[in-house]
Structures are given as structure tokens and as C-alpha cells.
Structure 1
């Protein structure tokens, strides 16, 4: 059995219904906002939000949204980018799509010259913290609201040959 081609695609009129239909398991709904809220936030924060469909083969299996160049705590000297939302449809969990999406977002941030990626998560039962720490995120000691902040150093850009 072959693995379907995984990619991130912009959310468009053509895939909107499939993206909107992405829904996590009922026991995870307290951990992540529904996709429709994320799309609304992307609409009102167009320069900061980077929403993408997670596509396996020809099927939308999830949704991911990065935040770009956000002024942390309104501090103009502290500009951060990272993972804002990650929703893997309940029918497609456990297949590596979440890991793929996080790695793809980190690669995009690296391509943009971002030195580190940030993420926050809910604590308590079924927290996604082990998922994020397994992908290299470590707590900073900060909170965003009541959520811990994690950071992952991204590989330094390769030096151009002399």
C-alpha cells in the first residue's frame, strides 16, 4: 500500500467545504477551536495568518494555521512566528498527518528566515504537550492566557558558498 502524497494547500473556494468539514474527535474539542473560527481569524488578521489545508492524495485530512511576525505582548522588539492551530480530522488521526503539518509549517518559517517556531497548548487531560515536545518544542516558562508557550529552534539557514 502506498502512502498518499502529503502537502499543504491554500484554502480556496474549491476546497473550502472540505476544510470546513474537518472535525476533531469529541474528546478533543476543548483543546482546539473549530476550523470555522480559525478561518474567521485568518480573515480578520490577513497579514498574520497563514491558513492551509492538509491534503493526502486528493483528500483534505486536516487544517493547520501558522501565525507570522506577531508582536508578542505588543512588544515591537519581540516578533514571533509559529503554529496557531492544528486540526486533524477524527477519521484521519494517527497516520502522521499532524507531524507532517508541524514539520511543513516549521520548514515554511525557516524558508522565511524565522529562527524559531512557537506554539501554545491546553493542559490537562489529553493535552497535546507530549506531541509537541516529541517534535522538539520545549516550554519557555511563559504563558499565553492560561496556555504554556513552547519554542523550537529551527535549523540555521545554510551559508551561501563563497
Structure 2
């Protein structure tokens, strides 16, 4: 695996970001990068969107939300979105992205990070559980909420 790095979304890379596609069987489980960037735009005070590069190749996108005053506890420090390009999966880039979000949460003195997922055959739930997220018993609409204590 080429050492990955996070890059802010800019005018120079936003088109490539919007072209990033996950595997076909995952598209029902995660919103597109374009949709995520639109959400980040309207919630710019809490959104933390980043692109994942391996060398010069765009391999993924991660977005977190940091909103310590949110009345819903699981939205205070939240892994909001993770998209790894179909041809770059199973190379450690997803783990890298989650660890980067955890590091940013620690930098912001968060006590935990949450994530949510829809259950199903191709759900990302097992991936997040392998990284240490534990279901809380809460649901966010039709998604399971899980937490990792820092």
C-alpha cells in the first residue's frame, strides 16, 4: 500500500472527488461524494470533508462532523461518510481514514466517535466493528449507531 494522506477539497480536486465511485454493491449503503460535499457546504461549521490520496491517486473520501453542542449525543463527533474507490478497496485506505478521523477527534478533545450504518448483506457494519466500534442499541432512522470510546 502506498502511504495514504488526507487532502482538503479544493477547486483543483473537487471534480475528481465527485467522480469517485464505490463498488456497485455498496451504492445503496453510502451517499455519493457529490452529495456529501453538498451536505458539507450547507453544514460547513461542523463538516470535516477530506480526500484520501495514495501518491497522486485519489483513492477515497472521508467526512466527519464535529459538533460538540449538538443535542443528539451521537452527532457530536461523528464519522459521517466513508467512500473508498472500488478498485482501491481492501488495501487499508478505509482503516487509514477512520484512524485519521479518530486522531482529529482526539485533537478536538472528543470522548468518543460514532458511526452509523444500514444493516444488510453488503453493510459496512462488520468493517466498523473490526475497528472497535460497538453498537449502542440506538437507531438513527433505519441505521445502527455504534460508538468507539477514545
Q: Which bracket does the TM-score occupy, shorter chain normalised? A: over 0.9
2:123 corresponds to 1:119: no
Dislocated runs of 4+, deviation >2 Å: none
1:110-142: per-residue Cα shift (whole Å, max 9, x none)? 111111000000101111111000000000010
In 2, the alpha carbon distance for the partners of 1:63 and 1:100 equals 11
- SS of 1:18's partner is helix
Shift of 1:22: 0.8
Total equivalences in the alignment? 150
With normalisation by structure 2, the TM-score equals 0.94
In 2, the alpha carbon distance for the partners of 1:71 and 1:65 equals 19
- SS of 2:113's partner is strand
Query: Which has the larger Rg?
Result: 1
Unaligned 5+ segments in structure 1 are 155-162
Unaligned 5+ segments in structure 2 are none
Shift of 1:90: 0.5
Determine if contact 2:75/2:114 at 8 Å carries over to the other structure.
no
* 1:78–1:90 CA distance, 2 compared to 1 (3 A): closer
